[in-house]
Amino acid sequence: MSNIITEINDHVAILKINRPKALNALNDEVLKELGEAFAEAEANEDVYVIIITGEGKAFVAGADIAQMKDFGAVEGKAFGAFGNGVFMAIENSVKPVIAAVNGFALGGGNELALACDMRIASSKAKFGQPEVGLGITPGFGGTQRLPRVVGSAKAMELILTGKTIKAEEALEIGLVNKVVEPEALMDEALALAQAICQNAQIAVRQSKACINRGLQTDMATGTAFEAEAFGLCFATEDQKEGMSAFVEKREKNFKNR
């Protein structure tokens, strides 16, 4: 792949978007390669956590305006559906996904970060949904995920003004989990990934599914889904090992089964 660099080490896959001269702007080719690289990482049984980041000074500066400017309604809808399909696959992955936001995360870049489960930001990162200034709406899930993450009023403000915010404000409104200096970004993202890797992966994946399911439904349905997941865990070897290790005051040794 010419636009995605994949590295796998210690159960963590790092997918780096590698189109720095265009600030990693998302065109058909980049989206296609990102979807393929992500699918490969998700299918790899040795990968427990996936990190997405960008090469150069941008995470993703947006969708490729040069490609979009001459679209008609049919082409625009198709491009939005294509990008949304890739981002939905990321959101719905059974594996936890971390965005390591190294720079500009605007438009499609902010939407890509939102499709991830957690976001660690460089202090130089900037976030925004500037689409209305280009005469369009967000097209890759921004109108849906941003309100769920930061609340409807703040999402309305960011989307309807199209303004860009710095990393510290993104932290204040709950858009990102943590802000670190640029040189510490990948170390911090990897530390978070390794903390997840140390736990029982069936339980991790069931917990992620419960959270995502609960955000889309009422409390009664969500807690019923949680009860099913809770019960399922008691059929795993990891539950027996984890609780036995706790009672016996020894180190646990999960086999992820």
Which of the residues are catalytic? 111, 131
Beta bridge mates, 60: 105
In sequence order, which residues have a C-beta less than 8 Å from that of residue 78 and are 6 or more positions away? Answer: none
Residue found by looking up tokens 């003004």 in the block = 161
Tell me the C-alpha distance between 39 and 45, whole Å.
12
Helices marked H in the chain: 28-43, 65-68, 73-91, 108-115, 142-150, 152-161, 167-172, 185-197, 201-215, 219-233, 237-248
Contact 49, 190 (CB under 8 A): no
With 0-12 / 13-18 / 19 or more C-beta atoms within 10 angstroms meaning exposed / middle / buried, residue 1 is: middle
Contact 234, 198 (CB under 8 A): no
